[in-house]
Structure 1
C-alpha cells in the first residue's frame, strides 16, 4: 500500500482524489493547512506528498522548501492550476519532483505517483522503514521519529535483519546463526534476549517490533 499525504484545502477535490487513489491501493491522509501537514511529517513520513499551491496558511513552495531542508529524497508532486508557469518554476526551484496541472485526470495523477516512486526506488532501497523507525544503510544509522538513535554494531545488525524481513517472523535460531555464528562468536540464547531488550529500550519500545513467544521476532507496521 502506498501512503500519501495530500495538502489540499478544497474539500471536493480532496475527496475525489482520496476516493480514487484508495481504490488503487493507496492510503491517503488529507491536510487542509500547511501547519497540520508539518506536524504530521515530524513524526512520520509517507511514501509521497501531493502538494497544492494555494493553502489557507501559506504557499506550496514554502512547504516544499521546508521539506527539502529536512528530507532530501522524500517524493513531492506539485499541483498547480493551468497557466501558473511561475508556480511550476518556483516549485521545482524548491525541490518538487514532478507536477500535475489542475484540472487533472485522476488516472494521470496515479500514473505520475507510480512513476515517481519507481525512480525513487533505488534510493529507498538504502532506507528501511517501520512505523516511526528508519534504518539508513548508506549512513549505517538508526532513527526514531527523525531523531538519530545511537546503537551498537550488534543492535544495528539485529534491527537491519528484522527490517529486511519486515512482515515475516525471524526465528531466534536464525538471528543467532546469521549475526553471531557468522562472526565466529558462539553465544547462548540468553544473549539474544538481553540484546533485544536493550535495542527495544533505545527505540522507545516500538509497537512494530513484536515478540513471537518462544519462537522469534517480527517487524510489522502498525500505522
Structure 2
C-alpha cells in the first residue's frame, strides 16, 4: 500500500514515516500543497494523510480540488481544529475521515486500516456473506435471492459494518456515522435499536456480533 503524507511539521513527518514504514506501508511525504499535488499527479496512492493548515494554503481547498477532479483516493484529514463546524466542513469537502491532533499512533493505524479495507471493499460492487448478498451500487440486500427491505439508516449501518469487517466499531463511532450531528452524538440506545431492527430483518444474531462493553462487528 502506498501512502502520501502532506504536512509541514518535520518532527511529526519523521515520526509518521517511521510508524507507517514499520507497519509495512510505502510512504511518500510533502510539506506544501504544491508538492503534495505534484506527488498526486505523478503517482496513484492508496491513501492520503492531509494536514489542514499548510504554508501555502488550506488542506481542505486541496481536498475539494481533488474531488472536483474526480480523484477518489481516500483522504484522512488531520488538524488541531476542534470545532464541530470544522469537522463538518472537512467531511462535506470530501474527507473520508477526520482526526484531531494530538492523536495516538494506535488510533491512527486503526483508522488507516479501516479506510484501506473500505476502499478495497467498495471496488467490489457486490459482497457475499453466506446467504446474504449486498449490492452497493443498487443499495439492495438479498438473503437466498429473497429481497430484504431496509431503511436508509439500516442500509448505512450494514454498509458500515461490512466495510469495516473484522473491526469492532464502538457505539459512538456508529452513532457518529449515522447521525452526522456532532452536537448531539450519543452512544445510547439509538444504535442498539438500529442493530436490533437490522438483526430481525437479517434473520437472527449470527451475522452481527456484540462485543460486550465495546460495540459491534461483522466477521468475514
Matches within 5 A, 1:57-136: 57-124=56-123
The Cα of 1:124 is off from its aligned counterpart by: 3.5
The Cα of 1:82 is off from its aligned counterpart by: 4.8
Which residue pairs with 1:54 in the alignment? 53
Q: Which runs of 5+ in 2 are unaligned?
A: 126-220
Q: Tell me how far apart the structure 2 counterparts of residues 123 and 117 of structure 1 sit (CA, whole Å).
A: 10
The Cα of 1:87 is off from its aligned counterpart by: 2.5
Q: Tell me how far apart the structure 1 counterparts of residues 59 and 85 of structure 2 sit (CA, whole Å).
A: 12
TM score, norm. by length of structure 1: 0.53
Aligned residues: 126
The Cα of 1:122 is off from its aligned counterpart by: 2.6
Q: Tell me how far apart the structure 2 counterparts of residues 11 and 85 of structure 1 sit (CA, whole Å).
A: 28
Asked if structure 2 preserves the Cα contact closer than 8 Å seen for 1:80 and 1:88, the reply is no
SS in 2 for 1:25: coil
The Cα of 1:93 is off from its aligned counterpart by: 1.1
The change in CA–CA distance for 1:17 and 1:84 in structure 2 (over 3 A counts) is: farther
Return structure 1 stretches of 4+ with deviation > 6 angstroms: none
Q: Tell me how far apart the structure 1 counterparts of residues 110 and 67 of structure 2 sit (CA, whole Å).
A: 23
Structure with higher Rg: it is 1
SS in 1 for 2:73: coil
SS in 1 for 2:103: coil
> Could you say what the CA RMSD is over the residues aligned between the two structures, in angstroms?
1.8
